[in-house]
Amino acid sequence: MRAAILVAVLVLGGCGGAESEPSEPVPSAGQPIPGGGLAVRDAIDSELDGLLMVRGYLIERGGELRLCEAILESSPPQCGEPSLRVEGAAQAASEEYVSLLGEVDDEKIVVSTTEQG
């Protein structure tokens, strides 16, 4: 009986945090997400189907948005290969390290419109 009560207390105690606010704001759909994911090369080489979180530098040149493995030190900064063309929800080029959630196919990433959170 004591074991059952102890388990019930632990289970109920673990549920208390479910309604707390997230410590960091949740980005809206299609927006860059700070943090991890696969490197661009790993995403291109991946045989996984479905959505992948891919990290790199978001650069726009000549009207095309690309998620780049590296950023080259030139003026203006250039996309280092490998890279993925970004399609889908509008993104703002930031030239900062970000992660995007989307489907990778034929050297492009189609950004997911799924809400995060």
pLDDT reported for residue 68: 93
Whether this prediction's pTM lies above 0.85 is answered by: no
DSSP string computed for 6-57: HHHHHHHHHHGGGGSPPSSPPPPTTS-BSS--EEHHHHHH----SEEEEEEE
Q: One digit per residue, pLDDT tens: the chain, 117 residues? A: 444 443 344 444 445 444 444 444 555 555 555 557 899 999 999 998 899 999 999 998 888 899 999 999 888 888 889 999 999 875 677 778 888 999 999 899 999 876 443
Looking at CATH, the fold of the domain delimited by 29-111 is given as: OB fold (Dihydrolipoamide Acetyltransferase, E2P) (2.40.50)
Structural domain spans, the chain: 29-111
